[in-house]
Structure 1
């Protein structure tokens, strides 16, 4: 598809240039047109028409391709929703009639895997809506969202202890996007905690604070944490693309993002929401 598109654009561009040279020669040398303003007007019209045609030739196939890809993604998501729901319902029914602990643990692992699939499903649905420029904002309670995210992450990191001190906070915003931000910050806190197993999360005065007690960062590292692919520890994943996405989300939604960190003390992240 794109190979043919490049060929078509090149051919049209080549013919356009040759036509321009021919008409310039025809008007100047054969017709002996001396009115520079008339000639400039004709050239301007020719350039505008050529530009419109080239842009249409280049963009229309891409627009069709993106629309087709979005339609395919929506259909795929719709098809995924049914088996996920079926697995969840079936495992719940099985768990009610089984007393064997080993079997129950296996069913629990299936449920956890299914919940992770649901998370990916929600993220794909969110990305499709964002690309389609659909309004993804809604009214929700940040404290309830934090509890849900901690409940999900607790299953991934059973050794961690999450201490919650959450005041009620209701906002109108991008719930799915904020979920990804919270997950990313907590995930980084866990990965860089080393021997510490504590994460403190607090909501007070329209501020969401997430604090870990891990390796921390110095002033130089703090200056680069939002750079793409930057990592404070090359042996770990984290503080790479994730925090640059967090920064972009906060800037877009007018959330003040503050990092406070000290070496071997830990890192505190604050999200300040407008009242």
Structure 2
């Protein structure tokens, strides 16, 4: 817990204790000097409670106002910084494209290509940072997009690492309506896991949509049944030898919970299948 939170909790606690002390004193003073019937006493206690709330709000309002003002300033500074990060990234991208056209020597072209890939990774980090910031302050705009399009984008991302994996897709192409970046990030994690835990000799992945159920099946390693519920916990890894931090399925679960997408894992004889029920984000196409 940072110092700002500690200071706020201490301050609000002091205000609460101060308000409570005033109410207790008033209660003691009036009940010891005035006789109340049961009905009068109940009304008096409600009146004291109302006074106590007013006192607490009066003294804590400036404290809360200061906290919100500080958060608003921080939000504005972060937003400006994120925006400024886009400028050098875009500049590098533009100049790399110009260099590619003018260079002829193979060595130089290879070097420029490395710069280009590094810049693409930097751009992805920028986009993720911007997305996480918007998500934190609840400013995510929902969008319409087609399922097949977003799956194709995700598959293209992993072109270099999927190698000889056989990927079979059977997707109609429904229109979805939700957080585009969040859905892409969730699917990226599921597809990445499908590649990582695939059969080493005959890697195979099947992505299909049946009615409203989107499923991703991968041959090979199966999740132990006793760990089915634990895999959604942050930092959980069934096999500590695997690379990563155990965040993938936790990110997927967080997204699915937010948009009411039910998710379940099936352990099959020859692999694992993860099912997402998309019924709550399916959009009927406009006529």
User: TM-score range with shorter-chain normalisation?
Assistant: 0.7 to 0.9
Partner of 1:32: 34
Aligned partner of 1:15 among 15, 18, 30: 18
Partner of 1:113: 118
Partner deviation per Cα, 1:58-93 (whole Å, 9 max, x = no partner): 543332233222212210111011111111111111
Partner of 1:240: 246
Aligned partner of 1:141 among 142, 146, 152: 146
**Stretch moving more, 57-66 or 117-126:** 57-66
How far 1:212 sits from its partner (Å)? 2.5
Q: Does 1:172 align with 2:177?
A: yes
Count of residue correspondences = 272
Partner deviation per Cα, 1:137-193 (whole Å, 9 max, x = no partner): 1111221212222222224x2645362534433222211001110111122223323
Aligned partner of 2:87 among 82, 89, 93: 82
Output the CA distance in 2 between the equivalents of 1:108 and 1:158. 21
Output the CA distance in 2 between the equivalents of 1:52 and 1:162. 63
SS of the residue corresponding to residue 225 of structure 1 reads: helix
Partner deviation per Cα, 1:193-232 (whole Å, 9 max, x = no partner): 3625735253444543323233222322324322333221
When the two chains are superposed, the root-mean-square deviation of aligned CA atoms in Å is: 2.8
Gaps in structure 1 of 5+ consecutive residues: none
Gaps in structure 2 of 5+ consecutive residues: 283-287
**Stretch moving more, 69-78 or 245-254:** 245-254
Q: Does 1:60 align with 2:65?
A: yes
Partner of 2:285: none
**TM-score normalized by the length of structure 2:** 0.81
Q: Does 1:195 align with 2:197?
A: no
Output the CA distance in 1 between the equivalents of 2:204 and 2:95. 34
CA 1:22–1:168 in 2, change beyond 3 Å: closer, same or farther?
closer
Q: Is the 8 A contact 1:211 1:267 kept in 2?
A: yes
Q: Does 1:221 align with 2:263?
A: no
